Amino acid sequence: MPLGGGYTNRVAWIDLTGGQIEYKPIAEEDARKYIGARGLGVKYVFDNGPQVDPLSPENILCFMNGPLTGTDVNLSGRMAVCTKSPLTGTVTDSHHGGWSAARLKWAGFDGLVFKGKADKPVYAYVENGQVTLHDASDLWGKHVHETIKILQERHGGAKDLSVITIGPAGENLVKFGCWMNENDRASGRGGTGCVGGSKHLKAIVIKGKHADRPKPADKEAFKAAQKVALAQLTDERFITSPRKGGLSVYGTNSLMNDTNAIGALPTRNGQEAAFGDDAETLSGEWVKANILVNDPTCHACPVACKKEVDVKEGPWKVHMESVEYEPAWSLGAMCGNPDANAVAWMIDRANDWGYDAIEIGVVLAMYMEYSQRGYANGDGLAWGDTHGMAEVMRKIAFREGIGDILAEGTGKAAKKLGHPEFAMACKDQAIPAYDPRGIKGMGLGYATSNRGACHLRGYTPAAEVVGNVLNSTGKTDPLAWEGKGNLVMIFQNVHTFTDCLDVCKFTTFAESLDSFAAQFAAITGTPCTAGDLLTVGERVYNLERHYNNLNGFREGSDTLPKRFLEEPSTMPGSVGQVCELDKMLVEYYEKRGWVNGVVPEAKLKELEII
């Protein structure tokens, strides 16, 4: 396929060891099969060799956008960071919003690929189709917010400028260290910032102007496609509707009360499946009524799910963005903490130290249960001890004391402490904010995610809790296990191709598959159907699975913590429920065409992977 429209057809390959930079086009065959962003990044990671040590110079670290990124397509401000994860040992990709992805496209790039290790800290500066490396020795050791401020001042101010950086956690090789974009937008999962720290790559500074955004290959077709897509996004039936839908009014935290009510909010390390009345004080409704001050947005987004808050007094005084659902849960209900002000402060610390705000809450909850059961020898951490949580968070960022163990992440740290049963994790990555006993499809999604426990690989709560355009018959019963194999596979394929485009997953709450295909065709000039995009999603998901199979993730790797399989929920909405994972896996593997979690050669050939 010719690479027009939304492609710049330029990827920078940066050798940090020698300082050389090459600029290469995207192979047309790769673009046809994998599109861009997640798909293309995963292909590059696969081609680099599955057996690479994640923290070795040989591992690559890709910052990729897609052909819709930075265009006038709605919600097209996403960037995929792809690598081999030091947390899980799987392939991983983690996405962030804001403006950096769009500016990377406006600066002339479809991606940046880093390999090697610099002999001293460096940062990359990107502008006008060129990348240069600069000494970052003076920035090493600085927190995220300070680093961004210094680099903005050094490069002419914040206008048209984005800074993506790691903090002390990434530098100190915390296994869930992450890349932070524009202070509060994170590529949070999988330890991509830890990989950056291992390479002495401190930051990426991107200068790009909106006037340089890609123009559609077919302007009239795009005008028509965009009109349809915008009508779907603004439809008042959907939670994306600006100023009316739950995502727009309350942000992602519109879900706190809903999941709590149906007994699907893991609490106190999953010992319970709801937080009772205390969930309300963590909710988007409470945040809006008490501490919300602004609704900023990302590139080309009418939804405005960001919720900027200001805690004006008390020990948790902070101005930050945002109290998102996942970290509000992980540092709230999961840790037995109902104090939203403390949660806001802790999320800001997680952002400033530069680690995953989901993983940090779950690893704390694991340590809290370890303490509750009497294994901490008089030290430990009590449920809801906010000041104790804050101190252990600091120790993790700097690998001090118990923090050195917890910095390994939930799964690995629990094993080191001798109690893996306390780890609410899959493939060593912490679960997100949905209890598999109350939302069965999400349990299957955690187990079969290619990057460890994840809600974003296939967001079944869209059908099981909210109801969306992909589920025309209304909500799916969250407590039923039947049919969830097919449901999860469909959502995984859909979310994979949207990650390749790269657009926000919230588009799938409203936009149809035909709408995505029409916008892609109009922007790139390449004919495309909904079926074509689903095939790309399936291909990329199978490539990821094949990569993991080659790394030893085979039969038996797709599992859940025993708690969700054996300990029935005691909470209203899901009382008496466990997650029937084995039954769902049978259907799922059949739909996928896999053999006990392994992609057979015939499937790889069918999808043109080999």
Looking up tokens 């790309």 gives: 536
Looking at the structure, tell me whether residues 444 and 577 fall in a common domain.
Answer: yes
Note the pLDDT tens digit of each residue in 334-378. Answer: 999 999 999 999 999 999 999 999 999 999 999 999 999 999 987
Is residue 471 pLDDT above 60, yes or no? no
DSSP 27: P
Note the pLDDT tens digit of each residue in 14-73. Answer: 999 999 999 999 999 999 999 999 999 999 999 999 999 999 999 999 999 999 999 999
Is residue 419 pLDDT above 80, yes or no? yes
- 341 contacts: CB under 8 Å, gap ≥ 6: 291, 311, 314, 316, 318
Looking at the structure, tell me whether residues 419 and 448 fall in a common domain.
Answer: no
Q: Return d(Cα 187, Cα 177) in angstroms, integer.
A: 10
Residue 189 counted as domain residue: yes
Residue 237: predicted pLDDT: 86
Residue 217: predicted pLDDT: 96
Residue 246: predicted pLDDT: 87
Looking at the structure, tell me whether residues 345 and 416 fall in a common domain.
Answer: yes
Residue 76: predicted pLDDT: 94
Residue 77 counted as domain residue: yes
From 5, 135, 43, 95, select the one nearest 455 (Cα to Cα).
Answer: 95
Cα-to-chain-centroid distance, residue 348? 17
**Share of residues in the chain with pLDDT > 70 (%):** 99
310, containing H or E segment: strand 308-311
List phi, psi (to 5°) of 198.
-65, -20
Looking up tokens 């962030």 gives: 96
Is residue 466 pLDDT above 90, yes or no? no
Q: Report H helices in 475-580.
A: 484-501, 513-524, 530-550, 562-566
Q: Could you tell me whether strands 61-64 and 111-115 are parallel, antiparallel, or unpaired per DSSP bridges?
A: antiparallel
Is residue 158 pLDDT above 90, yes or no? no
DSSP 600: -
pLDDT band at 2 (very low <50, low <70, confident <90, very high): low
Looking up tokens 């974003």 gives: 456
CA-atom Rg of the chain in angstroms: 22
Q: Could you tell me whether strands 130-135 and 91-96 are parallel, antiparallel, or unpaired per DSSP bridges?
A: unpaired
Looking at the structure, tell me whether residues 114 and 173 fall in a common domain.
Answer: yes
pLDDT band at 474 (very low <50, low <70, confident <90, very high): low
Q: Return d(Cα 167, Cα 202) in angstroms, integer.
A: 8
Q: Quick one: 251 exposed, middle or buried, by C-beta within 10 A (0-12, 13-18, 19+)?
A: buried
Q: Return d(Cα 457, Cα 455) in angstroms, integer.
A: 6
Q: Return d(Cα 460, Cα 61) in angstroms, integer.
A: 29
Residue 468: predicted pLDDT: 59
Q: CATH number for the domain including 568?
A: 1.10.599.10
**Boundary-marking domain end, from 423, 448, 474:** 423
Q: Could you tell me whether strands 111-115 and 11-15 are parallel, antiparallel, or unpaired per DSSP bridges?
A: parallel
Looking up tokens 């709590």 gives: 260
Looking at the structure, tell me whether residues 180 and 39 fall in a common domain.
Answer: yes
Looking at the structure, tell me whether residues 195 and 50 fall in a common domain.
Answer: yes
Residue 256 counted as domain residue: no
Q: Quick one: 552 exposed, middle or buried, by C-beta within 10 A (0-12, 13-18, 19+)?
A: exposed
Q: CATH number for the domain including 34?
A: 3.60.9.10
SS3 assignment, position 416: helix
Note the pLDDT tens digit of each residue in 563-599. Answer: 999 999 999 999 999 999 999 999 999 999 999 999 9
Q: Return d(Cα 448, Cα 545) in angstroms, integer.
A: 9
Looking at the structure, tell me whether residues 178 and 318 fall in a common domain.
Answer: no
Question: Under the phi-then-psi rule, with left for phi > 0, alpha for psi from -120 to 50, and beta for the rest, what region is 147?
Answer: alpha
**Boundary-marking domain end, from 212, 240, 258:** 212
Q: CATH number for the domain including 325?
A: 1.10.569.10
**Boundary-marking domain end, from 212, 242, 257:** 212
Looking at the structure, tell me whether residues 418 and 484 fall in a common domain.
Answer: no
Looking at the structure, tell me whether residues 506 and 386 fall in a common domain.
Answer: no
From 605, 588, 592, 502, select the one nearest 541 (Cα to Cα).
Answer: 592
Looking at the structure, tell me whether residues 192 and 276 fall in a common domain.
Answer: no
Q: Which two tokens stand for residue 211?
A: 């006037």
Give yes or no for a contact between 496 and 543, defined as CB atoms under 8 angstroms apart: no
Q: Return d(Cα 238, Cα 194) in angstroms, integer.
A: 37
Residue 258 counted as domain residue: no
Looking at the structure, tell me whether residues 275 and 190 fall in a common domain.
Answer: no
Question: Domain range for residue 361?
Answer: 267-423
Note the pLDDT tens digit of each residue in 231-277. Answer: 999 998 888 898 898 888 988 999 999 999 999 999 999 999 999 99
Calculate the average pLDDT of the chain.
95
HEC string of 90-131 equals CEEEEEECCCHHHHHHHCCCCEEEEECCCCCCEEEEEECCEE
Q: Which two tokens stand for residue 155?
A: 């490069």
Give yes or no for a contact between 453 and 425, defined as CB atoms under 8 angstroms apart: yes
- According to DSSP, the residues that pair with 113 across neighbouring strands are 13, 62
Looking at the structure, tell me whether residues 473 and 564 fall in a common domain.
Answer: yes
Q: Which two tokens stand for residue 534?
A: 């689903």
Q: Return d(Cα 230, Cα 228) in angstroms, integer.
A: 6
Q: Which two tokens stand for residue 78?
A: 């996403």
Residue 407 counted as domain residue: yes
Residue 3 counted as domain residue: no
Residue 224 counted as domain residue: no
HEC string of 197-242 equals HHCCEEEEEEECCHHHCCCCCCHHHHHHHHHHHHHHHCCCCCCCCC
Is residue 472 pLDDT above 60, yes or no? no
Residue 428 counted as domain residue: no
Q: Which two tokens stand for residue 217?
A: 């290959």
Q: Which two tokens stand for residue 591?
A: 């739909």
Count of structural domains within the chain:
3
Residue 458: predicted pLDDT: 94
List phi, psi (to 5°) of 162.
-120, 145
Residue 83: predicted pLDDT: 98
Question: Under the phi-then-psi rule, with left for phi > 0, alpha for psi from -120 to 50, and beta for the rest, what region is 306?
Answer: beta
Is residue 284 pLDDT above 90, yes or no? yes
From 257, 301, 304, 307, select the one nearest 282 (Cα to Cα).
Answer: 257
101-126 mean pLDDT = 98
Q: Return d(Cα 547, Cα 541) in angstroms, integer.
A: 10
Is residue 108 pLDDT above 70, yes or no? yes
Is residue 469 pLDDT above 60, yes or no? no
Give yes or no for a contact between 453 and 431, defined as CB atoms under 8 angstroms apart: yes
Number of H helices, E strands in the chain: 24, 17
